[in-house]
Structures are given as C-alpha cells and as structure tokens.
Amino acid sequence: MALYVKAAEILEKAEKKQGALKTLVYDSKFNNVKQLFALVFETHKFSAVLEEIISTTKLLKLTRLKLPQAKVLVYDLLLGHGLKCGGAWKAALLKNRARLQAALARIKVRQGVCNNQDLIPANGPQDHYTVTIFPHCRYVRVNTLKTSVADTVDYLKREGFTYLGQARTVEDLTLKGTHFVQDMDIPEILIFSPKTDFHNHFLYKAGHLILQDKASCLPAHVLHPPPGSVVLDACAAPGNKTSHLAALMENRGRLLALDLDAKRLSTMSTLLLRAGVTCQTLRHQDFLKVDPQSAEYREVEYILLDPSCSGSGMVCLRDDSDTDPARLSSLAAFQLKCLKHALSFPRVNRLVYSTCSVHRQENEDVVSACLQENNHFRLVPVLPQWPEHGLPPLSQCLRASPSSTRTHGFFVAMLQRHSETDVALGGSLSPSLSTPLVSVPESETGPGPALKKRRRKRKRKKKNKTSGASGLTTQ
C-alpha cells in the first residue's frame, strides 16, 4: 500500500509543477527507490491511456479514488506486474477489473495496436527521461552486526546460489543467473546478477543483508571509524550509511545521526532497529544549527557528510533539472556551508564528504573552495587501486560511474586534520582501510574455479585478438 500512496503523491506533485519526477522520487527517501521510480515513470509514460480508461469506466465515481491513486493502481493491474497491495484498494480494482480490461481492449482496437508499448505517443515521456530499472549489478552489503560474510556465503550456497569467489576486476562482475562474487574493494559486499531480487528474502527481512549500491558504501568504508570512537553522521536519513558506520564500529562508541525530516528519521529508526544498531543517538536537527562546542558534539572525532545534492549520479533518476545552473549554484553554496561547518568541530580528526552527483561544481569545486579557507585539513588519497579518481588537480578524491565501476555516479573526498602524524595515512591508504574488514575463510576470499576458468577464457580471447592483429600487420 505504501508504494502506491507514495507514487500517487509524487505524480500529483509533478502535475502541479512542484518538482521533477526524479527529484520528487529521490527526496521521498522511500525504502526501495528503484521500485518507486519504476512505478512512477511507467505510470507517467502511459498517463494519457490510463486517464482515458479511468474516465470511460467512471472508476473515480465507483471507487472514490483520487485520479493519481487510480492511475498507479490501474497501471499495475492492467499494464504492470499485478497489484502488490491488499485491502480496500485491491478489492475496488478487482471488482472493476472486467470493465477496465474492456476499456483497454477498445483503445487498442481503435489505435490498431497489439502491444501495450505501442500505446505510448511517439513524443511521450520516454523521450524526456532515461530510466535504468536494473543496475549493472545487484549489490548487497552483509550486515556484520548480525552475521559474517562467510556464513552468508554458505547460507546462499545451500539455497542454490553459485559462489565464484572474490572478484579481481570489473569484468568479473558480469554475472548471470544464480552466480555471485565477493567485491574486490569492500569485502562485506556481495554482487549478484542484475535481476536478482532480495526484497522478500529472509536474510534481508532479518536485517542480515542491506540492499545498498556499492558506491553508497564508499563513504563509510573510507571514513572507517574504529570501535569506541565518537562519530557524527550529519545528514543521515535514510540510514544505510549510518548502519554501515555502526557495523564498522562494532556497535561500540557513540554514533550521532542527524536529519531535518522527522518522518525520514522515524523510518530510519526502524531500519536501524532491524539492522541491530545499538550505538546510535538520533536527533531531529538541522546540522548547520548544531553548536560544535556543545557538550554533546565537542568530542566528535569522525564526520560523514553526505548533504543534499542534484542526484545526477543516480542512473535511474535523471532529468533535465540535474543541470539547471541556478539549482546547481544553490546546492553548491549549501554544500560548501555544510563542509565548512563540519570542519569547525574542535576534535574532528577525519571527515568524509560525499555526493551522488557527477557535477564538478558540487564535488571538487566545493572541496577546493573549503580547503582554500581552511589550512588545518588536507585531502588524503584513498583506495589507490580504484579505477576513477577526482578531476585534476584533486586526484586524491574518488569518483564512481556506471562505465568505470558499474555503480551509480558518486564522489568521495576524505579530509584529515594536519596536526595528526602523517604516518597513519601518509600519501596512501591507512592499514585499517587496506585490510579486510570481515574475517573470511581463505577458501572464500580467493577466486573460485569457475571464476578462474572465466579469466583464462578472457585471456585466451585477448591473446587471439592480439595475434590476429599482428598477422594483419605483417601482411
């Protein structure tokens, strides 16, 4: 029911020009953003057809539904994968299913089409939006507060999944069927084929698995606060990064999590409870109004700052507002203000700034502007093996993208206080970041036989191509 309520709410706001579809979906902080966007986008695409069906069948009068609610429900009943709700709404739609199906059939006959997709106008919404329902990979993070990577791998193998070992390159992430691998950069991440769905899986419902894109796991992994530390998650909702921080801290220490939206904070509280997080203190508070010198915050040593951004890196949520100059300027000013404020905490030693934006204006430019005004912090290089780094001259930062890392677009920068000795981090990765965060049996960390076979096959193909090219050259 929640899915349809939220989708209808977003469509209504979009109709009233209160925001772009992408922005409204992303700002909703709905638990399953991809599922919500798919329903919103597809309903929007078929909007004219759905409105005609609803009008000719007098559905609103018969059911007392509002038009946006009726549209999302009729879409899923007639054109989608079937209704995913119960109660009065489902009963009302099923009662009128025959007349709705007849109305759809009449429209198809009139337009002379057989397939539903042919009902979409040539200049319809699909020309204005690009949606990727499935990412290149399906990432899940093992919640080490409740289980281990090794135990999770064993459980999934017993369920019929095929474990190929630990990936070494991006090419190893091309997976099909039930095959899965362990990530090469963040050991608590397991990677599956794009269409693998865990929303109804026991391990997800029990909080053992967190459905989280790999790029979204980078900020906590890079910050890596040790157990017993005092950590601030400045813009915390919906809470996946917060639960990741708690796992790295082993639930020891203090984890302060702030958010401006009370509703999102309430949802986050439920998520953290399911994940087994116990070291958190949630605050309904504006980060910019926090007093760094106050008793509650003056001991903060680590800060994760992931402020509001354009969301332009979310491959399933792109629209024209992502590049609006005025909006980007406003966001960058807000982000810079947040970063400056974060560096004013008296005992903060390490800070990670991240966005899910691809724009330099929100990323490298914000970090550069802040460091020009604050000489107590420096950029720290992390994950030297990572394939994509910050735009020059900020090569110490990380960037992620569908093409280079098979993730959403993301940006991560780590800042370290100057007064700390350079030995721990130097110009490279700290020991705490270079070693596996989860103990995994030796047999599980290396590539399995199937993965080795795939690599040998790729090498042979590459060799054959090279020899073929050489042959052509000598002729």
259 is in an annotated binding site: yes
Report whether 239 belongs to an annotated binding site. Answer: yes
Q: How many CB atoms lie within 10 A of CB 393?
A: 9
Catalytic residue chosen out of the listed positions 316, 356, 370, 397: 356
- Please say if 309 is a catalytic residue: no
Q: Are 370 and 378 in contact (CB under 8 A)?
A: no
CA 71 to chain centre: 27
Contacts of residues 294-300 at CB distance under 8 Å and 24 or more positions apart, as own/partner, are 296/256, 297/232, 297/256, 297/345, 298/345, 298/346, 298/347, 299/230, 299/254, 299/347, 300/230, 300/231, 300/232, 300/256, 300/345, 300/347, 300/348
Q: Count CB neighbours of 335 within 10 A.
A: 25
Q: Is 241 annotated as a binding residue?
A: yes
Map 216-284 to HEC letters.
HHHHHHHHCCCCCCEEEECCCCCCHHHHHHHHHCCCCCEEEEEECCHHHHHHHHHHHHHCCCCCEEEEE
In the structure encoding, which two tokens stand for residue 237, read together?
């909702």
187 has binding-site annotation: no
157 is in an annotated binding site: no
Is 319 annotated among the ligand-binding residues?
Answer: no
Tokens 């991809």 sit on residue: 34
- The answer on whether 22 is annotated among ligand-binding residues is no
Is 165 labelled as part of a ligand binding site? no
From CA 448, how far away is CA 453, in angstroms rounded?
Answer: 9
Does 431 count as an annotated binding residue? Answer: no
| Cis peptide preceding 393, ω within 30 of 0 | yes
d(CA 221, CA 438): 12
Identify residue 340 by its one-letter amino acid code: K
Radius of gyration of the chain measured on its C-alpha atoms: 25
- On whether 340 is known to bind a ligand per the annotation, the reply is no
Which residues are CB-contacts of 464 (< 8 A; sequence separation ≥ 6)? none
Which residues line the annotated binding site? 235-241, 259, 286, 306
Which residues line the annotated binding site for S-adenosyl-L-methionine? 235-241, 259, 286, 306
Query: Which residues are marked as active site?
Result: 356
